[in-house]
C-alpha cells in the first residue's frame, strides 16, 4: 500500500500547488466578468430582464397651465391686508420681502375696513405719511400774504394749482409723485377707492420707475381690471353726520368665455362740511375691457370720466386786519400826495418818501421838526461822506415803509401795519370774534413783500 505524503512531510511542494490553483481561479473569474460586461454593453436585453414601460398622457387641457407675465401682479393672491408681490420696486413682479426699498401695499380689503376713500384717508394709517387731516403744507400764496390754503385749493406762488389731493407728504419731505398703473399721472386729479384694486406707497427717491421724481416717493394706484369668466356686481351707499352722501356701483361681466370681459364702476360723492355753505361734489365713471384673442395674447384697455365741483371751507385760521385799522382811525393812503388821512379825525400824516434823496424828504424833515417833543439830538450822526444827514430819527429811517409801520418811528401810523399782508397767522389770536393778541412790532422783517408792493405804487407816481 502506497501512502501519500502529508503537508508536514513536503511543505514546499504543497505551497506551490496552492499558489497555482488560486491564480487559475482569479484568471477565470476575470475572464467571466469581462465577458459579462462586454455582453451588457452590446446587448443589455440579453444580460438583464426587460422592464415593462407604461406611457401615460396628461388628460388635462393645456389651457389650464398659464404662465403669469413678470410684468403683471395677480391680485387673487392677496389675502386680507397681505400682498405678496409688487411691481413698484423694479417694474417686474417681485416679492416684497426681497426688495430693499420701503414699500407698502394697501389692498382693497384694507381700504374698505378703514373707510378710506382718497389718499389722505390712507395716509392716516400708514407709516411716515401725513394727510390733510393732520398736516398743512407750508406753501406761500401768490400775493405774498402768508401760507396758502392748499386744502381749500390755491394756485400758490408757482401758479400750479394745489388741491386737497396734494395736501400731504411722505417722510416729512414733500408731496410724493403720483402714478396710475405705473405710469406718471396728474396729481391734481385725486384717486378714489371706487375703482382701485390696490395702492402702493414707495417711500424715498426711486429712479427705477420714472427717472427724476419727488424725493418723498411715489404713490401708485392699480385700477380694477375686467376678469375673464367671472360675473360680479356690488353696490354701496354711505352717509355721515354732516349730511354727506356717497353712492357707488361696480360690476364685472364675462361676455365670451376665456375671451372677453368688461368691468364698470360709477360713483357719486357729495361731501359736506361743518361750515356752511361748503361742498365737494364728485362724479366719476370708469370702464375696463379685457380681450384674449389668442392663448398667449391679452389686450386690456380702460377709460375714466371725472368731474368735480367744490367750494371747500377754509382750513386755516382767519386773520383780522380790519379791527386794528378801525381802531387806528381808518387811515387811507393818497398816492398823489404820499400822505395818510384818518377818516375818523381828518388828521393828515407827513408825506412819505421812498429814499433819502427823494424830493419829499425835505417836507418830511420839516414835518418832524414841527411836532411837539421834537429833539434835534435824535437825528443820525454823519460819520462817512456817503451818509445823508437827517435821514433817520430816533434810530428809524424817515423814508421807506418802515417809517410808518415801525412803532418806534415818529411817523408811525396806527392801523396801517395791521392792514398790510404778509403776516403769519401764528402771531394773531382771535377769541369770540375779538382780537386777543395784537400783531408784533416792528414789522420790518415780516412785511418785506408788502413794502415792496407799496414802493411800486409810490414809484408809479414818480416819488
Distance of CA 332 to the CA centre of its chain: 46
pLDDT of residue 310: 92
Other C-beta atoms lying within 10 Å of the C-beta of residue 71: 10
Mean pLDDT of 106-129: 92
Q: Which helix (H) or strand (E) holds 362?
A: helix 360-369
Q: State the pLDDT confidence band at 97, using cuts at 50, 70 and 90.
A: low
The whole-number pLDDT of residue 30 equals 43
Rounded Cα–Cα distance for residues 163 and 280 (Å) = 12
Q: Which residue has the higher pLDDT, 155 or 361?
A: 361
DSSP-assigned states of every residue in 132-164: TTT-----B-TTSSSB---SS-B-TTTS--B-G
Q: Which domains does the chain have, with CATH numbers?
A: 75-223 (2.170.130.10), 232-311 (no CATH), 322-460 (no CATH)
Question: What number is the average pLDDT over the span 346-371?
Answer: 87
Q: Look at residue 194 and tell me whether its pLDDT is greater than 50.
A: yes
Asked if pLDDT for residue 243 goes beyond 50, the answer is yes
Alpha helices in 9-107 (DSSP H): 11-42, 44-47
**Beta strands at 183-184 and 177-180: parallel, antiparallel or unpaired:** antiparallel
| CA-based nearest residue to 225, from 205, 204, 201, 254 | 254
Average pLDDT, stretch 193-212? Answer: 82
Cα–Cα distance for residue pair 387/451, rounded to 1 Å: 23
Question: pLDDT for 120-170, tens place per residue?
Answer: 999 999 999 999 888 878 777 666 666 778 888 877 556 677 888 888 999
Q: Does residue 89 register a pLDDT over 80?
A: no
Q: Say how far apart CA 111 and CA 106 lie, in whole Å.
A: 7
- Write out pLDDT tens, residues 17-68: 545 555 555 444 444 444 444 444 444 444 455 655 555 555 555 555 555 5
Instruction: Please count the residues of the chain.
Output: 463
Rg (CA), the chain: 44
How is the chain split among helix, strand and coil, in percent rounded to 5? 25, 25, 50
**Mean predicted lDDT score pLDDT of the chain:** 76
Whether 419 has a pLDDT exceeding 50, the answer reads no
- Report yes or no: 179 and 185 within 8 Å, Cβ to Cβ: yes
Per-residue pLDDT at 195? 95
| Residue indicated by cell numbers 364675462 | 254
| pTM listed for this prediction | 0.60
Partners of residue 130 on adjacent β-strands: 169
Residue with cell 401695499: 105
Residue 187 contacts residue 161 (beta carbons within 8 Å): no
User: What local confidence, expressed as pLDDT, does residue 54 receive?
Assistant: 52
Is residue 223 within 8 A of residue 286, CB to CB? The reply is yes
Cα–Cα nearest to 319, from 397, 181, 435, 462: 435
> What single DSSP character describes residue 355?
S
Please, what is the Cα angle at 84 between 80 and 90, to 5 degrees? 140
> Residue 225 — very low, low, confident or very high, per pLDDT cuts 50/70/90?
very high
Q: How do 183-184 and 434-437 pair as beta strands?
A: unpaired
Which residues does 102 contact at the CB level (< 8 Å), separation at least 6?
A: 128, 202, 203, 204
In degrees rounded to 5, what are phi and psi of residue 453?
-65, -40
Separation CA 420–CA 145 (nearest Å): 9
Give the pLDDT confidence score for residue 429 in this predicted structure.
Answer: 52
Query: Do 260 and 296 form a contact (C-beta atoms < 8 A)?
Result: no
- The pLDDT of 85-110, averaged and rounded, is 74
pLDDT interval class at 221 (50, 70, 90): very high
**High-pLDDT (> 90) share of the chain, %:** 30
Identify the DSSP state of 320: -
User: Which whole-number Å values give the CA distances from 399 to 27, 40, 245, 358, 451, in the listed order?
Assistant: 128, 117, 58, 9, 12
Cα separation of 303 and 189, whole Å? 14
pLDDT of residue 248: 97
Confidence check: pLDDT of 4 > 60: no
- Max distance between CA atoms of the chain, in angstroms, equals 177
| Average of per-residue pLDDT across 11-20 | 49
Amino acid at each position: 500500500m502506497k501512502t501519500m505524503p502529508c503537508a508536514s512531510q513536503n511543505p514546499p511542494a504543497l505551497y506551490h500547488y496552492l499558489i497555482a490553483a488560486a491564480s487559475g481561479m482569479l484568471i477565470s473569474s476575470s475572464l467571466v466578468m469581462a465577458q459579462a460586461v462586454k455582453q451588457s454593453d452590446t446587448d443589455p436585453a440579453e444580460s438583464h430582464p426587460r422592464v415593462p414601460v407604461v406611457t401615460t398622457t396628461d388628460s388635462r387641457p393645456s389651457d389650464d397651465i398659464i404662465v403669469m407675465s413678470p410684468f403683471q401682479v395677480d391680485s387673487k393672491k392677496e389675502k386680507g391686508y397681505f400682498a405678496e408681490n409688487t411691481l413698484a420696486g423694479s417694474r417686474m413682479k417681485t416679492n416684497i420681502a426681497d426688495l430693499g426699498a420701503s414699500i407698502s401695499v394697501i389692498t382693497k380689503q384694507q381700504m374698505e375696513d378703514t373707510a378710506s376713500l382718497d389718499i389722505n384717508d390712507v395716509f392716516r394709517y400708514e407709516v411716515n405719511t401725513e394727510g390733510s387731516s393732520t398736516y398743512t403744507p407750508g406753501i406761500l400764496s401768490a400775493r405774498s400774504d402768508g401760507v396758502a390754503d392748499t386744502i381749500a385749493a390755491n394756485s400758490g406762488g408757482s401758479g400750479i394749482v394745489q388741491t386737497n389731493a396734494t395736501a400731504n407728504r411722505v417722510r416729512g419731505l414733500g408731496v410724493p409723485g403720483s402714478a396710475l398703473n405705473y405710469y406718471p399721472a396728474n396729481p391734481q386729479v385725486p384717486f378714489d377707492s371706487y375703482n382701485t384694486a390696490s395702492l402702493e406707497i414707495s417711500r424715498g427717491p426711486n429712479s427705477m420707475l420714472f427717472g427724476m421724481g419727488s424725493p418723498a416717493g411715489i404713490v401708485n394706484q392699480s385700477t380694477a381690471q375686467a376678469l375673464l369668466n367671472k360675473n360680479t356686481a356690488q353696490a354701496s351707499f354711505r352717509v355721515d353726520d354732516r349730511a354727506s352722501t356717497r353712492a357707488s356701483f361696480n360690476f364685472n361681466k364675462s361676455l365670451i368665455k376665456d375671451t372677453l370681459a368688461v368691468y364698470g364702476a360709477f360713483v357719486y360723492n357729495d361731501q359736506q362740511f361743518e361750515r356752511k355753505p361748503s361742498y365737494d361734489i364728485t362724479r366719476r365713471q370708469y370702464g375696463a375691457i379685457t380681450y384674449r384673442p389668442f392663448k398667449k395674447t391679452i389686450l386690456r384697455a380702460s377709460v375714466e370720466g371725472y368731474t368735480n365741483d367744490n367750494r371747500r371751507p377754509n382750513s386755516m385760521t382767519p386773520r383780522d386786519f380790519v379791527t386794528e385799522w378801525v381802531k387806528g382811525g381808518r387811515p387811507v393812503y393818497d398816492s398823489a400826495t404820499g400822505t395818510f388821512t384818518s377818516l375818523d379825525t381828518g388828521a393828515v400824516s407827513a408825506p412819505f418818501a421812498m429814499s433819502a434823496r427823494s424830493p419829499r424828504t425835505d417836507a418830511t424833515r420839516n414835518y418832524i421838526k414841527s411836532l411837539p417833543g421834537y429833539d434835534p439830538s435824535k437825528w443820525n450822526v454823519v460819520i462817512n461822506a456817503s451818509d445823508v444827514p437827517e435821514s433817520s430819527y430816533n434810530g428809524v429811517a424817515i423814508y421807506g415803509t418802515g417809517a410808518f409801520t415801525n412803532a418806534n418811528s415818529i411817523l408811525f401810523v396806527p392801523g396801517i401795519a395791521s392792514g398790510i399782508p404778509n403776516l403769519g397767522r401764528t402771531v394773531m389770536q382771535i377769541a369770540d370774534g375779538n382780537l386777543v393778541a395784537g400783531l408784533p412790532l416792528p414789522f420790518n422783517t415780516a412785511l418785506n413783500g408788502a413794502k415792496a408792493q407799496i414802493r411800486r405804487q409810490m414809484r408809479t407816481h414818480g416819488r
